Amino acid sequence: MKLLAGLSRLAVVGIIIISLFGKGYSQSSTAGYNFTMLKQVKTTPVKNQQSTGTCWSFATTSYIETELLRLGQPELDLSEMFFARMAYADKANLYVRFDGTNNFGQGGQAHDVLNVVRRFGFAIEEAYSGKNYGSNDHNHGELEANLKAIVDATVKKEGGKITTAWAPAFNAILDTYLGKAPAEMSVNGKKLSPKAFFESTGMKLDDYVEITSFNHHPFYQKFILEIPDNWSRDQYYNVPLDELMAIIENALMNGYSVCWDGDVSEKGFGYKKGVAILPAAKVEDLKNTDMSRWTEMSEKDRISQMFSFEKPVPEVNVTQENRQANFDNQTSTDDHLMHFTGIATDQNGTKYYYTKNSWGTENHIYSGYLYMSDSYVRMKTIAILIHKDAIPVEIAMKLGIVKTRSAVK
């Protein structure tokens, strides 16, 4: 995952009017975009990962906080750095065991958070801020460099073998920079360990699954997704693209949010403008559109208008095949994790996913959110994390997933 630090000082480009929880209809606009919110899931405030590559922890923490709200728990502010700290130890262990050939860095996946929760539980932000290095902001550049130096020195086996000292030294660095993980903390007036705190919420980790869509593996089976940040080699369910999109829409329309992993390196990812689109900038991508208007322009003018973000433009028709080609040639990569909390349409009826980012809220058109178009999500999604009850029944049956409820079709 590319290092994605929190953004600030973003130019305000438009206005937004959104109802608190998206009940009924709400509208917003960015210049020529007019959005109507169809469904919005209650969530927690936007946070800022700042100068760290921990989007995976921020997105998944937001997802867990939102799930706890759905499950009837009070609003919680969970510690993203607790998950990052605990995952680092496991990541280092695998890096050493694989003799330095496994991925080691700041990035990760949604399941990394769930794997930490399963073993250690979770902490509240007040008990573990992860800022133990004389700064009010998150910044992991120096931390990562020091951790990498330890594991790289370890795999060199300068004394002919790996000593017993490397793991304590590694954990000492984590404790120095992030702080020691709390043995217990005060939650609603009670002293609880992180594990007891998690267990008190009633959240069941076996209810959550990761799903992707690539045709280099059989559909309706699990496989180890070949991306660097899947350092733990976890498995994902594989479904056809149309079914992946059906799962996302079904979830949101039934009150379930979605943790999203995907590519944000496209020119059409206009975070400052509050939208992510996949313009049909090439003539061959303009089929089934008002071609004459666009083909009469010079290529330079066409591209300029397509990426102006001034109003909706024709977008690429995304298929299983061109999506797979983008993954194979690595123009779609595992860049960033965010959190879908709503679904909307623009004035042309095009569908967008209301997306909670972790780059703060300051001077941003939608206070840290953006609208990602259906085409963008179809092409650039790497994987999602979702509650299995949010999966349509017929798709869940194909996957062999037993739902805990039958109410969501």
* Tens-place pLDDT, residues 83-103: 999 999 999 999 999 999 999
The number of residues in the chain equals: 409
Does residue 140 lie in a domain region? yes
Does residue 306 lie in a domain region? no
Amino acid in the structure at residue 106: Q
C-alpha separations of 99 from 112, 164, 296 in Å? 21, 16, 57
Amino acid in the structure at residue 336: H
Render pLDDT for 212-224 as a digit per residue (tens, 0 to 9): 999 999 999 999 9
CA distance 225 to 245: 18
Render pLDDT for 335-384 as a digit per residue (tens, 0 to 9): 999 999 999 999 999 999 999 999 999 999 999 999 999 999 999 999 99
* pLDDT of the residue at 4: 46
Render pLDDT for 121-139 as a digit per residue (tens, 0 to 9): 999 999 999 999 999 999 9
- CATH number reported for the structural domain that contains residue 395 in this entry: 3.90.70.10
Does residue 302 lie in a domain region? no
Does residue 300 lie in a domain region? no
- Among 27-31, 66-70, 95-99, 235-239, where is mean pLDDT lowest? 27-31
CA distance 11 to 49: 19
Does residue 4 lie in a domain region? no
* pLDDT of the residue at 12: 29
Strand partners, 187: 190
CA distance 178 to 217: 39
Does residue 292 lie in a domain region? no
User: Which residue range forms the structural domain that includes residue 224?
Assistant: 22-278+315-399
Render pLDDT for 17-47 as a digit per residue (tens, 0 to 9): 333 333 444 566 556 899 999 999 999 999 9
> 200-205 — which CB contacts under 8 Å span 24+ positions?
201/68, 201/71, 201/73, 202/71, 202/73, 203/64, 203/67, 203/68, 203/71, 205/114, 205/117, 205/118
Q: What is the mean predicted confidence (pLDDT) over 270-297?
A: 70
Amino acid in the structure at residue 213: S
Q: Residue 6 pLDDT > 90, yes or no?
A: no
- In the chain, the number of structural domains is 1
Does residue 336 lie in a domain region? yes
Does residue 285 lie in a domain region? no
When the pLDDT of each residue in the chain is averaged and rounded to a whole number, the result is 90
